[in-house]
Structures are given as structure tokens and as C-alpha cells.
Amino acid sequence: MKRLYNRINSDELKQQMLESDEKRVTLSFYQYANIEEVAQFRNQFYEGLSALGVFGRIYVAKEGINGQLSLPADNFEAFKTYLYSIDFLKGIRLNIAIEDDGKSFYKLKIKVRDKIVADGLDDNTFDASKRGTPLDAADYNKLVDDKKTIIVDMRNHYESEVGYFKGAIRPDVETFREALPLVEDMLAEEKDKNIVMYCTGGIRCEKASAYYLHKGFENVFMVEGGIIEYSRQCEEQGLENKFIGKNFVFDERMGERITEDVISKCHQCGATCDTHINCANDACHILFIQCESCAEKYTNCCSQKCSDFTQLPEEQQLVLRRTLEFNGTKFGKGRYKAFHKDEGLSLE
């Protein structure tokens, strides 16, 4: 029987990816569809993609598929042929990365999930296929100039912190599940306005737009293909790009630059910066923004405490992590807690 999971050490695979000079293409795609035999489809899909040298993270559920991946550039046409040979994926839009060094993924993971995006909704209570009106880049630029238009960022706070559409409402949330009811409450008195939503590649807005139409909002729109496709169209057509800063992405790159604007600050020293990293202390691993100076000072960690911890022997780390708390131990994703004092690790 063929292996349907990666069996090689992740650190080794990551090092191989970083050292490789193979030209790769990073892209994302999604499709809401009815998949009956989810596990069977998952296994067949894994075999098909593995044969093409695909790396990435893909979620499969009864409601469809959601994937972010990279593949050898030489296999791109073969990949499209294989993808389009699957009935519900035929002709699907592929969102090609805007800024790509080929170092986005280092192994292939395909997971079966209850949903392709965790939204907390009971899809049986509304028609999830009745979605908002998609907008291409030109239509978006026209509609947002209307005073009756409200722009809503359906992403999480750590995504919008480094980049967003001008004039957008940016909910302070950690998850899409949190955003749905919060945005509904925020716009409760605006149900007759043009509600334009956007996200990274469009998948969250498709579900959200159906939900808000069900909730009585009259004019619901979504940026087709999200920030990625919008930016591509702006570049191709010479349109004004109304997005500023960086587009956060969920792979090793952590972001792709849309404009030269840097709108956020280092979480440690306050210097202008928009580089996300995960704390190098695996017992913490909190997502935060760090400048080069602080990266050197704290050895890519979120605090002196974490930096000190990473210098300990591995055996001692394993014992101490049972009782010690770090930024990422107690706080949610991206909820960085800066220390007022440069406190190191106390073993007393």
C-alpha cells in the first residue's frame, strides 16, 4: 500500500526546502461542493498530488475543499490537467501568489475536517449557496466610492494589522467564527447599505455573504478571489490598488507585499515593521511582529524569558515546560504580551 502521509522528519524537510533552488509556484484554491466519500477522495487526492511534487496544506470536508500549496513550476500544467479532471474542480480559479520565493511549504498535508473553514454556523438553518454578488477589481473600486458602501475585513486582527483596504472596518477578532456575529451586531442598523466584504482568497466571504443575506442584509457583495485576485487584476489592468501594506498568508512566507507601505510596528520596541514570525521557543510559538534588531537581541523569541529558555539543554526544557508559562502558553494567537521589564528566565 502506498504511503498516504509524510514520514520524514519535518525539520529535515524544511531544511531541504530552504536549500533547494527548484523553481516552485505557490497558489491557493477552494470550492464548496458536496463530497460524499470524503476519506476516499482525500486518499486519492494525496496520491495524485504527491506524484506531481506538491507541498501544502489542504482541508477536505463534505462541504468542499480548501487548499494552499506549492508545486514545481515545470509541473504546473500537469497539475492543472489533474485538478480539472475532477468534476467539481473543473475550471476552478487558482489564486497565484503575488510575491513568491518558492519557500512557502515543505511537505504535503491533506486533512479531513468537519468544515473547510471553521465558522461555527449550522448550515442547515440557511441556504449557503445563496451568496453575495462577486466584485472584480474594477467594480470594487467603483462601488467603494459610493457613500452608501461599508467595507468589512472578514479576517483576523493579526492579518489586518499589516495590511487592509482603505476605509475598511477591521474587527478585533482571532477567528472567523468570532467575526461573524460581531460584524452582524456592528452593522445591525446598516442593513440597507452596500456591505462589501473581503478576505485573503475569498473563501470566508462566500460563506459570510450567504449568512448575512439570510440575516436580512439587502446588498451584500464580496471581493472575488479576495486580496490575491484583486491585486493581480489591478496590476494587469493598471487600476488603482486600494489595498495598502502586506497581505498575511498562512504559509512559511507569513505575508506577501502588496504596496511599500509599512503600517504596523514591532511588538517589542515599537519600530516600524510588518514582519510576522512565530516565537523560536516551541513551548511558546506565539505569532508576533518583530524587527531585525529585536530578532537579534532576543534570538528570534518574543521575550528574554523565551530566549533564555531556548539556550537550556533539551532535557531541561522538557521538564520545565510542564510548569512554565510563556506568551503563547496563556494568550491567543497574535495576542502578544510585551514585558514592561526585560525579564529573563528565573529557575528559582
Q: What is the CATH number of the domain that holds 160?
A: 3.40.250.10
Cβ(72)–Cβ(49) below 8 Å: no
Q: Is 199 a catalytic residue?
A: yes
Residue 179 lies in a domain: yes
Does residue 221 share a domain with residue 154? yes
Q: What is the pLDDT of residue 10?
A: 65
The tens digit of pLDDT for each residue in 254-287 reads 999 999 999 999 999 999 999 999 999 999 999 9
Same domain, 127 and 241: yes
Of 51, 86, 112, the one marking the end of a domain is 112
**Tens digits of per-residue pLDDT, 285-317?**
999 999 999 999 999 999 999 999 999 999 999
70: CATH: 3.30.70.100
Of the three residues 112, 137, 162, the one that is the final residue of a domain is 112
- 22-26, 57-61, 332-336: the lowest-pLDDT one: 332-336
Q: Are residues 105 and 131 in the same domain?
A: no
Average pLDDT, the chain: 91
Q: Is residue 38 part of a domain?
A: yes
Are 103 and 138 in the same domain? no
Q: What are the DSSP calls for 11-41, one per residue?
A: HHHHHHHHH----EEEEEEEEE---SSHHHH
Q: Among the three residues 112, 145, 174, which one is the final residue of a domain in this structure? A: 112
Q: Decide: 132 and 222 in contact? Cβ < 8 Å.
A: yes
**Whole-number percent of the chain with pLDDT over 70:** 90
Total structural domains within the chain: 3
- Asked whether residue 3 is domain-assigned, the answer is no
Domain housing 49: 10-112
Q: Confirm whether 289 is domain-assigned.
A: yes
**Is 316 part of any domain?**
yes
Residues 160, 131, single domain; the answer is: yes
Which one of 199, 234, 273, 291 is the catalytic residue?
199
Residue 214 belongs to a domain: yes
Q: What is the pTM of this model?
A: 0.87
Coil, helix or strand for 232? helix
**pLDDT, mean of residues 55-71:** 96
DSSP 8-state code for residue 88: G
Residue 174 pLDDT > 70: yes
Same domain, 34 and 106: yes
> Domain check: are 198 and 270 in the same one?
no
Examine residue 135 and state whether it is found in any structural domain, yes or no.
yes
